[in-house]
């Protein structure tokens, strides 16, 4: 079984001021994914449908008074529906390409404790896969057991690691808007070199950019999740979904340039 993450930065216009789908990318990505040749679970990121709201409302931050509580309740409600809308666009496009996709809302069956998944019935997703469906989950705003924060954001990457372990995935593909993990930010440093294999012993400078509109830690957050997965013996691969043909090759078992985390 394979788990495929479709990065929010490829599916949406991430720097837009309001939730905006990248229609051209979504269409091509769905078309490429339709070449899958194994059981598959898809998880997509949030892009401009989640990070702007999650940041505005500070979901996952401490709640110190009733007013803040109300503000965060409003934020949770808006973030959930915005993500549901993106999920609807993604699922509809996958269906258009012939994939039996069904959207599953993570916040309806997942609760976190200190922002990590603790309550989650993976049987539902597994059963859909066994019946021949392609479940499509996504990074979401959920309830948290810690009374100080009450709510949390779970990234698609956290879902990937959780479900890869629970469903014993033998292939984990993460698509992003860069070729993989680099020695430095390839968008700002042209001399940055692609690292083909990352293990927990690889020396990486993981800088979390305070200014980015990404509440789940960008590439640094992704690597942390994937190294945790590697610890359990499950390898994963980061590839660039913006390069035509990459996702198609990856889901159909062909080699693609990228970074393997093992």
- 8 A C-beta contact, residue 136 and residue 168: no
The least distance separating ligand IP8 from the CB of residue 125, rounded to whole angstroms, comes to 17
The reply on whether position 25 binds ligand IP8 by CB under 6 A is no
Q: Which helix (H) or strand (E) holds 113?
A: strand 110-113
> Which string of x and - marks every residue 31-60 that binds ligand IP8 (by CB under 6 A)?
--------------xx---xx--x------
The reply on whether position 153 binds ligand IP8 by CB under 6 A is yes
Question: Which tokens hold the place of 129?
Answer: 């896969």
Number of residues that bind ligand IP8 (CB under 6 A): 17
> Which string of x and - marks every residue 173-212 that binds ligand IP8 (by CB under 6 A)?
----------------------------------------
Q: Give helix then strand counts, H and E, for the chain.
A: 8, 14
The least distance separating ligand IP8 from the CB of residue 245, rounded to whole angstroms, comes to 23
The least distance separating ligand IP8 from the CB of residue 132, rounded to whole angstroms, comes to 26
Q: Is 54 exposed, middle or buried (0-12, 13-18, 19+ CB in 10 A)?
A: buried
First to last CA, the chain: 18
- 8 A C-beta contact, residue 47 and residue 9: yes
3-state secondary structure (DSSP) of residue 68 = helix
The reply on whether position 141 binds ligand IP8 by CB under 6 A is yes
Looking at the Cβ atoms of 98 and 162, the one nearer to ligand IP8 is 162
> DSSP letters along 162-202, please?
HHHHHTT-SEEEEEESSSSEESS-TTT-TT--EESEE-TTS
The reply on whether position 144 binds ligand IP8 by CB under 6 A is no
> Which string of x and - marks every residue 207-246 that binds ligand IP8 (by CB under 6 A)?
--------xx------------------------------
**DSSP code of 18?**
S
The reply on whether position 156 binds ligand IP8 by CB under 6 A is yes
Handedness of CA 181, 183, 188, 189 (dihedral sign): negative
Looking at the Cβ atoms of 141 and 149, the one nearer to ligand IP8 is 141
Looking at the Cβ atoms of 19 and 258, the one nearer to ligand IP8 is 19
In the complex, the residues that contact ligand IP8 under the rule CB under 6 A are 8, 45-46, 50-51, 54, 79, 83, 139-141, 153, 155-157, 215-216
């Amino acid at each position: 079984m394979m788990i495929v993450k479709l990065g929010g930065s490829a599916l949406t216009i991430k720097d837009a001021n309001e939730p905006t789908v990248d229609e051209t990318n979504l269409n091509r990505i769905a078309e490429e994914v339709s070449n899958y040749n194994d059981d598959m679970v898809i998880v997509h990121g949030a892009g401009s449908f989640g990070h702007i709201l999650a940041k505005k409302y500070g979901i996952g931050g401490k709640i110190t008074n009733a007013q803040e509580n109300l503000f965060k309740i409003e934020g949770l409600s808006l973030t959930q529906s915005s993500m549901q809308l993106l999920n609807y666009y993604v699922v509809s496009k996958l269906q258009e390409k012939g994939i039996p996709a069904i959207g599953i809302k993570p916040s309806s069956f997942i609760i976190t404790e200190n922002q990590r998944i603790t309550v989650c019935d993976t049987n539902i997703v597994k059963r859909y896969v066994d019946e021949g469906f392609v479940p499509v989950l996504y990074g979401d705003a959920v309830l948290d057991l810690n009374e100080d924060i009450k709510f949390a954001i779970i990234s698609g990457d956290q879902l990937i690691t959780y479900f890869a372990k629970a469903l014993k995935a033998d292939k984990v593909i993460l698509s992003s808007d860069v070729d993989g993990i680099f020695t430095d930010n390839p968008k700002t440093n042209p001399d940055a070199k692609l690292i083909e294999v990352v293990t927990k012993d690889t020396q990486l400078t993981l800088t979390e950019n305070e200014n980015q509109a990404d509440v789940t830690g960008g590439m640094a957050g992704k690597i942390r999740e994937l190294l945790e997965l590697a610890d359990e013996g499950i390898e994963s691969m980061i590839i660039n979904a913006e390069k035509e043909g990459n996702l198609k090759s990856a889901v159909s078992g062909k080699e693609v340039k990228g970074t393997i985390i093992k």
